Amino acid sequence: MAAAAHALETVRRRVASAEQRYGRPPGSVALLAVSKTRPAMDIEEVAVAGQRAFGESYAQEALGKIAALAHLSLEWHFIGPIQTNKSRLIAKHFQWVHSIDRLKVAERLSAQRPHDLPPLQVCLQVNISGEKTKAGVPPEQAPDLAGALMDLPQLKLRGLMAIPAPTIDTASQRVPFQRLRMLLDQMQQQGLVLDTLSMGMSADLEAAVAEGATIVRVGTAIFGPRLPR
């Protein structure tokens, strides 16, 4: 087995054993393979090993790969900062966007989503660790932003995404993930129909699964260290 396919298998086992250890139903956590900076060839290798969903952070870089791999019918998730001048490309070529943190961007994506395509599946990115430099809506503003998104016809709000500040041990990794889950619970209790918690990466996916992640976004553990852009 080639290196990336072997690494994919290892990550799948990590997800499955975390599901088991933390009492999550088997298969309840989806794996998003984060392929930013990797060439189409690497993605194809992982796709051939059975992975369907891939995450990209840079619209321009992703476009070439999406075109090159069109024959594989992969599912593309945009997970990076959304530049206004790239929103049309994102609305057209991706099935999911995890990184919405402003109403303006959401409105643009909805308006620019082609009408012959199903609504874009989206998550709100929440600045769960309250870092000054991080993207994401402050947690206390998430319910109002979610409410506003419900009115946009070409977006389907699925849930919340976060990238917590890195910490070392599982116990402290779980704290911000638990906070994001409690925010989702609160929004569900307010009547919003949401089913997605996009949280957990190579270094902390077990902690995220423990706290209820439904999508983990894993890059380096599958593809190896990121390449220079």
What values do phi and psi take at 103, rounded to 5?
-65, -40
Determine which residue in the list 34, 43, 82, 122 makes contact with ligand PLP, applying CB under 6 A: 34
CA distance 71 to 32: 19
Residue 71 and residue 86: Cα distance in Å, rounded? 24
Q: How far is the CB of 96 from ligand PLP (least distance, A)?
A: 12
Query: Which CA distances in Å does 59 have to 89, 93, 183, 219?
Result: 7, 9, 29, 17
Q: Is residue 37 close enough to count as binding ligand PLP by CB under 6 A?
A: no
Residue 181 binds to ligand PLP (criterion: CB under 6 A): no
| C-beta separation of 7 from 224 below 8 A | yes
> Is residue 217 part of the contact set for ligand PLP (CB under 6 A)?
yes
164 near ligand PLP, judged by CB under 6 A: no
Residue with token string 């194809």 = 44
Rounded to the nearest whole angstrom, what is the least distance from the CB of residue 225 to ligand PLP in the complex? 9
137 sits near ligand PLP (criterion: CB under 6 A): no
The window from 15-23, 148-156, 178-186, 199-207 that contacts ligand PLP (CB under 6 A) reads 199-207
Question: With respect to ligand PLP, which residue has the nearer C-beta, 83 or 186?
Answer: 83
Distance CA 87, CA 110 (A): 10
Tell me how many residues contact ligand PLP (CB under 6 A): 14
CB-CB contact of 190 with 182 (8 Å): no
Backbone phi, psi, residue 151, to 5°: -85, -5
Residue 201 found at the interface with ligand PLP (CB under 6 A): yes
Rg (CA), the chain: 17
- Asked if 36 is part of the footprint of ligand PLP (rule: CB under 6 A), the reply reads yes
Residues 6 or more apart whose CB falls under 8 angstroms from that of 172 comprise: none
Q: How far is the CB of 7 from ligand PLP (least distance, A)?
A: 11
59 binds ligand PLP (CB under 6 A): no
- Contact segment (CB under 6 A) with ligand PLP among 7-15, 66-74, 107-115, 216-224 equals 216-224
- The interface mask with ligand PLP, positions 93-132, x = CB under 6 A, is ----------------------------------------
Pair 135, 99: CB distance under 8 Å: yes
Binding site for ligand PLP (CB under 6 A): 34, 36, 57, 79-80, 163, 201-203, 217-221
